[in-house]
Amino acid sequence: MLATSPYCTIGPFFPGQFVEGCEDLTRLDGKTAQGQHILLAGRVVEEGNVPTLNVILEIWQADANGVLRHPLDPRFKDADPGFFGWGRARTNADGRFRFRTVIPGSYRTDDGVPRCPHVNLMVLAIGLTRRLVTTVFFGDAPDGVRDPVLDCVTDPAARQRLFAVRDAALDTDGLPGYRFDIVLRGENETPFFVD
């Protein structure tokens, strides 16, 4: 179900240690994650393309094999021992953020419905009445992707805004970069979901 993004203060301001060391999901207990390591980066802007400072983004996702690091996943015991599973980052003065992660594997819901590879993303910021939740999808042909969450978005342009875009300008340290920009409200607003 899609949600609108009302704009009222939730506070408080987030201290720096709230996100320190949480941007890299690819290392856990001295091990390195399997799969294609990537950088997922972008900007968070308000209406009129105004960058946001000190927005907290939290992501959680399946590992490269489609296993969630959560005890409720029936395959939890098979989770990648080097993949952390969630991360947290903060936007800078230009509204920019960055995560080091892996391309998530696809999996099936309890009902057997296939899910497109995706990252769940939560936005916390001063000025929001509640957290905003969206999904970042990965796919080479977004128009042909079927996914129960993505299917809630019927506008083709809005669906496109939910896909990470390969962007060589973001490549760093030999890792491919993917861009996912977030517009909190107004023209080209990112679709948000009720969770």
Task: Summarize pLDDT for 116-165 with one digit per residue, the tens.
Answer: 999 999 998 876 667 899 999 999 888 888 899 999 999 999 999 999 99
Task: Summarize pLDDT for 98-125 with one digit per residue, the tens.
Answer: 999 999 999 998 899 999 999 999 998 8
pLDDT of residue 135: 97
Q: Is 149 exposed, middle or buried (0-12, 13-18, 19+ CB in 10 A)?
A: middle
The set of residues, in sequence order, having a beta carbon less than 8 Å from that of 171 and lying 6+ positions away, is 39, 177
**What are the structure tokens assigned to 84, written together?**
């952390």
Q: Is the pLDDT of residue 193 over 90?
A: yes
Query: pTM (2 decimals)?
Result: 0.88
Q: How far apart are CA 89 and CA 59, in angstroms?
A: 9
Q: Tell me the CA end-to-end span of the chain in Å, nearest whole number.
A: 8
Mean pLDDT of the chain: 89
Q: Is 46 exposed, middle or buried (0-12, 13-18, 19+ CB in 10 A)?
A: middle
Q: How far apart are CA 175 and CA 114, in angstroms?
A: 28
pLDDT of residue 5: 46
The residue to which tokens 């939290």 are assigned: 58
Q: Is the pLDDT of residue 81 over 70?
A: yes
Domains in the chain with CATH codes? 2-182 (2.60.130.10)
**What are the structure tokens assigned to 67, written together?**
């296993």
Residue 74 has phi, psi (to 5 degrees) of: -60, -20
